[in-house]
Amino acid sequence: MRKTRRKETKAKEKRLGNKLSDRKKIVKRVKGEKEKNENLTKLKKKLENRKNKKYKEQVKRTKVVVDEKYGEITRRKRMKMWIFIVILIAILFIVRIGWIQFVMGDWLKEMAFEQQSLDRAVNPRRGTIYDATGTNILAVSSTVNTITVNPVNISKENKEKVAEALSNIFELKYEDVLKKVNKKTSIETIARKVEKEKADELREWMSDNGIDVGINIDEDTKRYYPYNSLASQVIGFCGYDNQGLDGIEAIYEDELKGEKGRITKVTDAQGGEIDNEGENYISAVDGDDLVLSIDLTIQGIAEKYLKEACIDNECTDGGNIIIMNPKTGDILAMAGYPNYNLNEPYETTIDELKANWDNMSQTDQIKEMQKVWRNKAVADTYEPGSTFKLITSSAALEEGITTTDKEGEFCCTGGITIAGVRISCWRYYKPHGSESLRQALMNSCNPVFIGLGQEIGVSKYYDYLEKFGLLRKTGIDLPGEANSIFLKEDKVGPVELATISFGQRFEITPIQMITAVSTIANKGTYVKPRIVKKIVDSTTGEITEIPTEKTENVISKETAEGVLSMMGSVVAEGTGKNAQVQGYSIGGKTGTSEDGVNTGKYVTSFVGVAPVSDPEVVVLITLYNPTGEGGHQGGGVAAPIGSQVLGEVLPYLEVQKDNTEEDGIQEEVEVPNIVGFTISEAKEKLKDLGLDINYEETEENISDKKVISQVPVGGMKVNKGSKIIIEYEK
Amino acid sequence: MQNKAKNSMYKAKKSQVDFVLVIIILILLSFGIVMILSASAPSALAETGDSYTYVTKQIIFAVIGLVAMWFVSKIDYRIYKKFYWLIYWASIGVLLLVLIPGLGSEGGGARRWINLGFAQFQPSELTKIGMIVFYAGYLTDHKNELRSFVKGFLKPLAFLIPPVAIALFIQNHLSVGIVMSAITFIMMLMAGCRLLHFIVCGGIVGGGGIAALFIYLSSAGESAGDANFRLGRILNYMDPWQDPTGTGWQTIQSLYAIGSGGLFGVGLGESKQKYLYVSEPQNDFIFSILAEELGFIGCIVVIVLFALFIWRGILIAMKAPDMFGSLLATGITSLVMIQVVINIGVVTNTIPNTGMSLPFFSAGGTALIILLAMCGILLNISKSRSKV
């Protein structure tokens, strides 16, 4: 039993044990399974993780690939875009260039051409000015040189050398020249109007130093006036650039100047010549020549006596002489004193000024020069005084108010009362008494002319002023002509008319005066005065004669002859006695007036005609403020000059002598031909005939020189004792 | 051996160099030499006494350049990628060479030349190609960052600052700065940087500039008329006739030259403007002389030739087997393009005057050699093009 029990127990135990172990086992198993599970999940997780990673990587990898693909696509797209943009830019540029070349092209081309072509002017030869004879040269242009440099064409190492040479040769400041040579401009002027010798010197230096570019020697012209101050105020002078500044030079600028030529060359930016192009030479057209009415000899005579008179009579404001041919209007001479040297128009010729000249400021110098440049004969007005009685006489005779020789027609009581104002005769202290018009003119009796003026009346009187050209400029071909100063017609009352009648309280220019008197001398025909007679075309030689402008019947021939005859009496027996010239019948009238009102300055004048019967010349002498011992009366001061001047001019003009009364019989001889003989031979020949010889002795020992011209020419008849003017070979 | 095999395996389809590009290069080069012969004669004569000074030099350099081009075209362009960082620093270093006394020489008030004894040489020419290589390498290596603003936009641009700053402030060389910046922009754009970044940044910088201008105008000018006047003056910078003998001189002379050309030009060698009017007619303004001598037709030919060159360059960039090659081709092509655009823009007064030479045409020895060497790189890339 026990055994069984034991067995049973054992079995039980065994069972139990088994159970226990089973339990343990189960527990163990459970545990294990749990672990297993955990491990599994872990493993699973691991696996999953691994899988994720792989996937992710794969995803990543694909993503990169996609990115790269995408990048490449973008790149391609952008590059295609780029090509498109390039094409666009190319088109834009082509359009832009097309715009510049076709739309702006013409303008740009022109501008480019302008800067590329550098012009150097070729100065034309300015026309020559001849005197009335057509042989004496009053103004001529000679060839000189203008020196220019193209600074950039002078190499750096040569610049100083060139500047030094230029400053030495042309006597310029070295620093100034160097500055010009160093400039970056295309052309600089170094010296103008240099003489040929200087230019040659420069040429020599250039060849010695092997410099042949960058320095230009161009021809230019320089004005030269052979007779220096002669007719200076008429001729005038030229400026730096050959432009006429005064006188004929200015008035006939267009005729004289010619046409500039050009040296055109295509140049680089620095003025260098573009070698293969060469120079294109467009030659200049020379200016036309002028033949003046001014006669060298007559002008010389006028100037000589004017100067003498001005000095003798101490004319503080100078004076002038006009000599006119009444038939043609030719101004044979127009002298002014003081004048100036045309070759040095900025240098005074007046002794008092010379001493201090260099210390004067430039403005003062110019002021002084302007005084002498001024041609007072046309530019300044004066009170004509008694000479104007000729106009009053003409008007009165023409109007038939009076006749020349009615005895006792007038009576001078030493004065006349006009509208309550008493106007005295100049000889109020010793009245002229009973007189005819001729006598009144000879006496220059004021009241007579006042009376005549009143009778003519303002309106008629002004008509005559108009007819005699006194209310307008004469239109003479000279610059700066002034007009007369008259009261307006409607403001002229009896008193004003009275003063006008004897030549006071109005002002006219000397040229107006002489033109009016010339009208009388020309038997009533007004002729416009002129300086230039002919213009000679420089290329064709064609001569253009300047026509004489006339206005006929200003007064009748009879009236004119009446006045002329009275003028003859004035000189023969009246106030103009001093103007007499042996052998000639001279007519004239003197005049004296105050220069302005109460200035104490006087203008004294003489107007003369000769010969009286048919005047060939009219002369007007005007002296401003004579302060010498001779006084200021026209008869005393101005008339003698008339005698001097006419005494030389009339023979020169070969005016037939018409007044033999006092002279007795003049023996006439025939002038021999002396051209071709030596001076000593000629002298002898002339001596035998009782003639004299006249020449300008510029050299010594000229007796062997041959005579090349003579005035008058052989065969002419002249009075014994006449001078034969000759020119001899030089 | 193994390496070589690997390389050849790596290589895509082996092909010939871009023959069309070679032809274009040769035409441009010979065209350029002919124009230099014509344009430089007067100034060469004026400066040295020999009309052929420039053209002789140019021919010598062209020959050297062509040899360099052939040689460079044999070098596998991928080699450069390994050294792009080194090249970057060298590019900056070489810019600073001008500061070394005795080596750098001053010209026209700016230190940008190195005297090699036989020739003058602008280190900035080397810097340009160095920067192209650098950006090609850098952008390739960081291609995954390119779409980010900071890493892909600002960071690459930052590398531009040192060389540009040196060019501007030490060498006073604006055009080099402009060219390098422009090339970098184009390369970054082609590499895949976001256009948006460029637009936004460009907008901010440009807008800021305009705003500053506007503020300047409205604050400085009391009245509207005054402001208009100022605006007029600012706009008038393009009117060279305001100062015809000073700042406007070059532009005016250039316009005179182009304007004188007309349809067919005045004829080869017949230019008048080259006679010292156009400054350096053999250099920056050679195109003006070309326009004068060969006219509108000549201009079109040259512009088309350049367009063809750029087109081939872009094609090479598109077909390059890898991004580095593509970007390298992009850089070289854009370098030529930028210079052509700025040069023609300047001589036609389309853009303000900045000194810029015309590739293949302007005289300038070392620049020509470097240009042709770059063309060699371009040709090398064209050899290993991928299938498209």
CA nearest to B49 within chain A: A155
Run of H or E residues at A661: none
Distances from the Cα of A621 to the Cαs of A307, A309, A573, in angstroms? 12, 10, 20
Which of A421-430, A520-529, B6-15 has the largest mean confidence?
Answer: A520-529
Is there a contact between B273 and A112 if contact means CB atoms under 8 Å apart? Answer: yes
The two tokens of residue B108 are 């026209």
Q: What is the mean pLDDT of residues B110-122?
A: 68
pLDDT of residue A12: 65
Q: What is the mean pLDDT of residues B355-365?
A: 84
pLDDT of residue A266: 60
**Minimum distance, in Å, between the CA of residue A245 and any CA atom of chain B:** 35
Note whether B277 contacts A: Cβ–Cβ < 8 A.
yes
Q: What is the mean pLDDT of residues A86-107?
A: 89
Note whether B351 contacts A: Cβ–Cβ < 8 A.
no
Phi-psi domain of A475 (left: phi exceeds 0; alpha: psi -120 through 50; beta: other) = left
Does the pLDDT value for residue B103 go beyond 50?
yes
Is there a contact between A100 and B258 if contact means CB atoms under 8 Å apart? Answer: yes
pLDDT of residue B386: 52
The two tokens of residue A661 are 């009364």
pLDDT tens-place string over residues A212-228: 777 888 777 788 898 88
Q: Which residue has the higher pLDDT, A81 or A323?
A: A323
Nearest CB neighbour to B260, from listed A71, A72, A109: A109
Q: What is the mean pLDDT of residues B14-34?
A: 87
Q: Which residue has the higher pLDDT, A27 or A131?
A: A131
Is there a contact between A90 and B146 if contact means CB atoms under 8 Å apart? Answer: no
pLDDT of residue A185: 62
The chain-wide mean pLDDT, for chain A, equals 83
Note whether B199 contacts A: Cβ–Cβ < 8 A.
no
Strand A602-610 with A543-545, pairing: unpaired
Banded model confidence at residue A29, pLDDT cuts 50, 70, 90: confident
Query: SS3 for A713?
Result: coil
Q: Which residue has the higher pLDDT, B307 or B320?
A: B307
Residue found by looking up tokens 């371009």 in the block: B378
DSSP code of residue A522 = T
Is there a contact between B275 and A269 if contact means CB atoms under 8 Å apart? Answer: yes
Q: Which of A359-363, A613-617, B3-7, B185-189 has the lowest mean pLDDT?
A: B3-7
What is d(CA A489, CA A472) in angstroms, rounded to the nearest whole number?
14
Dihedral of CA B52/B57/B58/B63: which sign? positive
pLDDT of residue A563: 93
Give the best residue of A60, A65, A93 to mutate against chain B (max B CB count within 10 A): A93
Banded model confidence at residue B301, pLDDT cuts 50, 70, 90: very high
Residue A221 pairs with which residues in a beta bridge?
A143
What is d(CA A324, CA A328) in angstroms, rounded to the nearest whole number?
8
Residue found by looking up tokens 């070349």 in the block: A101
What is d(CA B289, CA B258) in angstroms, rounded to the nearest whole number?
7
Q: What is the mean pLDDT of residues A392-408?
A: 89
Give the best residue of B252, B277, B332 to mutate against chain A (max A CB count within 10 A): B277
Banded model confidence at residue B92, pLDDT cuts 50, 70, 90: confident
pLDDT of residue A717: 66
Question: In chain A, what residues touch B323 (CB-CB under 8 Å)?
Answer: 71-72, 75
Q: Which of A303-307, A400-404, A680-684 has the lowest mean pLDDT?
A: A680-684
Note whether B256 contacts A: Cβ–Cβ < 8 A.
yes
Is there a contact between B261 and A101 if contact means CB atoms under 8 Å apart? Answer: yes
Query: SS3 for A617?
Result: strand
**Minimum distance, in Å, between the CA of residue A72 and any CA atom of chain B:** 8
SS (H, E, C) A302-333: HHHHHHHHHHHCCECCCEEEEEECCCCCEEEE
Does the pLDDT value for residue B388 go beyond 50?
no
Note whether B75 contacts A: Cβ–Cβ < 8 A.
no
Does the pLDDT value for residue A233 go beyond 90?
yes
Q: Which of A167-171, B42-46, B363-367 has the lowest mean pLDDT?
A: B42-46
Tell me what ipTM this predicted complex has: 0.86
Question: In chain A, what residues touch B189 (CB-CB under 8 Å)?
Answer: 78
pLDDT tens-place string over residues A34-52: 777 777 888 888 877 777 7
Banded model confidence at residue B22, pLDDT cuts 50, 70, 90: very high
pLDDT of residue A559: 92
pLDDT of residue B4: 44
Does the pLDDT value for residue A390 go beyond 90?
yes
Is there a contact between B262 and A71 if contact means CB atoms under 8 Å apart? Answer: no
Is there a contact between B276 and A272 if contact means CB atoms under 8 Å apart? Answer: yes
Does the pLDDT value for residue B112 go beyond 80?
no
Q: What is the mean pLDDT of residues A705-718?
A: 72
Note whether B142 contacts A: Cβ–Cβ < 8 A.
no
Question: In chain A, what residues touch B310 (CB-CB under 8 Å)?
Answer: 83, 86
Residue A141 pairs with which residues in a beta bridge?
A223
Q: To the nearest whole percent, how much of chain A has pLDDT over 70?
A: 87
Is there a contact between A272 and B255 if contact means CB atoms under 8 Å apart? Answer: no
Banded model confidence at residue B7, pLDDT cuts 50, 70, 90: very low
Q: To the nearest whole percent, how much of chain A has pLDDT over 90?
A: 29
Is there a contact between A101 and B344 if contact means CB atoms under 8 Å apart? Answer: no
pLDDT of residue A517: 95
Q: What is the mean pLDDT of residues A304-312?
A: 89
Nearest CB neighbour to A109, from listed B259, B276, B330: B259
**Minimum distance, in Å, between the CA of residue B307 and any CA atom of chain A:** 7
Give the best residue of A60, A72, A100, A270 to mutate against chain B (max B CB count within 10 A): A100
Does the pLDDT value for residue A67 go beyond 90?
no
pLDDT tens-place string over residues B172-213: 777 888 889 899 999 988 888 888 888 888 888 888 878 877
Does the pLDDT value for residue B226 go beyond 60?
no
The two tokens of residue A607 are 């107007």
Q: Which residue has the higher pLDDT, B382 or A670?
A: B382
Question: In chain B, what residues touch A67 (CB-CB under 8 Å)?
Answer: 144
Does the pLDDT value for residue A529 go beyond 60?
yes
Strand A137-149 with A129-130, pairing: antiparallel
Range list of H helices, chain B: 2-10, 19-48, 53-74, 78-82, 84-96, 123-141, 149, 155-158, 161-165, 174-191, 195-220, 224-235, 249-261, 286-319, 323-347, 365-383
Does the pLDDT value for residue A278 go beyond 80?
no
pLDDT of residue A520: 94
Does the pLDDT value for residue B142 go beyond 90?
no
Note whether B162 contacts A: Cβ–Cβ < 8 A.
no
Banded model confidence at residue B65, pLDDT cuts 50, 70, 90: very high
pLDDT of residue B236: 47
Cite the active site residues of A: 386
Question: In chain B, what residues touch A153 (CB-CB under 8 Å)?
Answer: none
Banded model confidence at residue B156, pLDDT cuts 50, 70, 90: confident
pLDDT of residue B247: 60
pLDDT of residue A177: 86
Q: What is the mean pLDDT of residues A659-671?
A: 60
Distances from the Cα of B240 to the Cαs of A146, A239, B227, B233, in angstroms? 36, 39, 21, 12
Banded model confidence at residue A119, pLDDT cuts 50, 70, 90: low
- Number of CB pairs, chain A paired with chain B, less than 8 A apart: 129
Question: In chain A, what residues touch B303 (CB-CB under 8 Å)?
Answer: 90, 93-94
Question: In chain B, what residues touch A266 (CB-CB under 8 Å)?
Answer: 272, 275
Question: In chain B, what residues touch A98 (CB-CB under 8 Å)?
Answer: 296
- Chain-centre distance for alpha carbon A458: 42
Q: Which residue has the higher pLDDT, A595 or A325?
A: A325
Q: Which of A250-254, A278-282, A582-586 has the lowest mean pLDDT?
A: A278-282
Give the best residue of B263, B314, B333 to mutate against chain A (max A CB count within 10 A): B314
Does the pLDDT value for residue B222 go beyond 60?
no
**Minimum distance, in Å, between the CA of residue A118 and any CA atom of chain B:** 13
Phi-psi domain of A480 (left: phi exceeds 0; alpha: psi -120 through 50; beta: other) = left
Q: To the nearest whole percent, how much of chain B has pLDDT over 90?
A: 22
